[in-house]
Amino acid sequence: MTEYGGSLRRTMSPIPGLSVWDLPVHGDNRGWFKENWQREKMMAAGLPDFSPVQNNISFNDALGTTRGIHAEPWDKFVSVATGRIFGAWVDLRVGPSFGTVFTAELDPSRAVFVPRGVGNAFQTLEPNTAYTYLVNDHYSPAAVYTSVNLADATIAIDWPIPLDRAELSAKDRAHPYLVDISPILPPKVLVLGAGGQLGRALREAYADSPHVEYADRADIDITATNLGSARRWRDYGVIINAAACTSVDEAETLDGRVRAWETNVTGVGALTRVADAYKIVLVHISSDYVFDGTATRPYREEDPVCPLGVYGQTKAAGDQIVAAVPHHYILRTSWVTGDGRNFVRTMLDLAQRDVDPFVVDDQHGRLTFTSELAQAIRHLIETGASFGTYNVTGGGPAMSWAEIARCVFASAGHDPDRVTGVSTEDYFGSSADPVAPRPSSSVLDLAKIESTGYVPGNAVEALADYVQNASRVSEH
């Protein structure tokens, strides 16, 4: 029996993400009226902003008409237009809640939000029952559905009208049992730039995740005109863009400037159009080079950008483009170090070859190991942290490049006093090649990322571990 009046209220179910909604229904002698879908109010009450794109109606003539149990590759919001239904939901997603069952009766005053991967079934409790559902993807005959048998004793649904007296399709009667189906993986995650230092770290961070795919430039070129058709994008939930033109000095040359703008701005713009069109979460890597380095305190996420060189200008422009995508994470980082050529490995090589280097001592920041950055990316995605920009570097004290070089020497068992500090001007003053201006301070404030529950490890301690591991590898 439909209840009139009341207030909009959400009740969570034992199935993660599945919620039942009490809807205010206003009735009089003429009938009733309700706001079946009201984005602003429902989001304020806790409904995800799932961006529906299609509205469907199911009309059922007979009492006991039963449909399901089907899990579609989209979210849906189901409500009753007339009559009553018994709803049953089974979590078919991979994870600890796989197989969890929830049932509830729905009428015009109650609705349900069903997340992607949760199987749903409905049995009509009155003739001439109609229910409507909003979905956030267009129907596609290529979409993959996972179904489970309505009569499966494992899930033991207590149907109000026994299935031997209910109206079922032959197809629904033939669905497999829970024990025979493969749990549904999350929407795919795509890592671009998978051959770089960060890409390799992301492979390790997601080694336990079969739904993550990797692509280097040979697989997907974000500057190519066919990016929109490079994948079946509706299957993806996250794109991690680890592809970038990062040679800061080369960006100051005529050809390098073109490449930097093409990759870091034009390509990023094309990627944001894909992410926006398919409601994909876009993860983008930014840089300390968007700042001029004159701040007397660590840079915060909201500080105005003021890049000194071409590379920093392209990264700042790319950040602005990505920020226009509703679902985005921009990770601003500094002094990235990982598996490949980098400053730390160069210093280690010099130490082992008995070369005493001159190293800049008037630029300060923190190292960011790619493993740290990869873990932070996964943390933000999986915890559903608020979208926006986050500073992510190693923790601990700020250091100069010369101080880091001395730590490398000491950790490798060499005399740190072999490193001589020099100014940036003296170090680059005699270079015949173009040199990008460097920010003198690259120290980033980490309070925002720490507020999400992720606390970066101490960069100095991580450096010692990195050097010792690299030394062991070089010895063999």
Please state the rounded mean pLDDT for residues 394-400: 96
133 noted as active-site residue: yes
- How far apart CA 167 and CA 128 sit, in angstroms, is 13
**What are phi and psi for residue 85, nearest 5 degrees?**
-135, 150
pLDDT of residue 3: 64
Q: What pLDDT does 475 receive?
A: 60
In the predicted structure, residue 219 carries a pLDDT above the cut 90: yes
DSSP string, 205-262: HTTT-TTEEEE-TTT--TTSTTGGGSS-GGGEEEEEE------TTGGGSHHHHHHHHI
Q: How much is the pLDDT for 207?
A: 96
* 289 included as an active-site residue: no
Mean pLDDT to the nearest integer, 408-420? 96
Residue of 4, 26, 131, 133 marked active site: 133
Q: Is the pLDDT of residue 138 over 60?
A: yes
Q: Which helix (H) or strand (E) holds 281?
A: strand 281-287
Q: Which is catalytic among the residues 4, 70, 211, 379?
A: 70
At residue 341, the pLDDT reads 87
pTM of the model: 0.87
Kindly tell me if the per-residue pLDDT of 143 is higher than 80: no
Predicted local confidence at residue 139, as pLDDT: 83
Going along the chain from its start, the domains and CATH numbers come out as 9-180 (2.60.120.10), 188-475 (3.40.50.720)
Q: What would the mean pLDDT of 79-106 be, rounded to a whole number?
A: 97
Determine the average pLDDT of the residues in 109-117: 97
Average of per-residue pLDDT across 162-170? 96
- CA dist., res. 45 & res. 357, Å (int): 60
- The pLDDT assigned to 410 comes to 96
Average pLDDT of span 313-332 = 97
pLDDT of residue 2 exceeding 80? no
* 218 pLDDT more than 80: yes
- Asked if pLDDT for residue 245 goes beyond 70, the answer is yes
Find the radius of gyration of the CA atoms of the chain. Answer: 28
